[in-house]
Each structure stands twice: as C-alpha cells, then as structure tokens.
Amino acid sequence: MIVGKTFHFDAAHRLPNYSGKCRYMHGHTWKVTVELEGEIDKETHMIIDFNEVKVVMEGIFHPLDHQILNDVISYPTCERVVEHIFARLKDYFSFAIEIKVHSVQVQEGEGGYARKERD
C-alpha cells in the first residue's frame, strides 16, 4: 500500500550558472508530495498516521522554509531539492523496516516539478 501527503513551504533561490531569469534571486511556494510504502498494520489499519508524517516533514522543512535555499542546498534546482528531501526522509525511515519512502515530488511554484522514486 502507498499513502501520500502534500506540504508547502516558501523559499528563495538563484541559479547563478543559468542564463535565464532564474539566474537572479527569486522565490517560490514549493509544493512537496511524499509517498510512503508499507503494509497496513492489523491494529491501526494504516501504514502510518498522517500526523507522524507531518511532524517528520516539519523537521525536514524547518531549515528550508523562508530561507535562501542556496545556503542549504548546493545549486538548488527543483531536482536537487527533491534529492535533498528524499535523502532526509529516507534517513528518518531507515530504522523502520515496515515503512519505505516510495517517492518525493517537488513542484516549483505553479510550473514544473521533479520526482524521485525509490530504486
């Protein structure tokens, strides 16, 4: 079974080696959807409580929200933001045999998105 939850955070970034408008500092509302995979627990009838996912993601977003992403992530393209979040989420659930990170999708503003799935 796969369950997902969507979150938002606001942050600025710039892509100095890019020749377009993104070369200059600008901000976005970043939309992040995480999907977790596992078996349904026989007692709770769920894989994980959505509130637990929220608490985990708040910890991951804390250093990103209302920040300059370049200070946290090297060359913060949408793809690199996905990799950053996926790695932290995977680290958090590495102890949990029954829960795996299935995917992370990050949408940059209202435009495009990047998505990483588990290997």
Is position 78 annotated as part of the catalytic site?
Answer: no
Give the active site residue among 13, 28, 78, 108. 108
Edge-to-edge strand list for the sheet holding 99-108: 67-68, 2-13, 26-38, 99-108, 113-117
Is position 22 annotated as part of the catalytic site?
Answer: yes
**Alpha carbons 51 and 5: distance in angstroms, whole number:** 10
Give the active site residue among 52, 66, 98, 117. 66
Give the active site residue among 22, 37, 79, 83. 22
Is position 102 annotated as part of the catalytic site?
Answer: no
Which active-site residues does the annotation give? Answer: 22, 66, 108
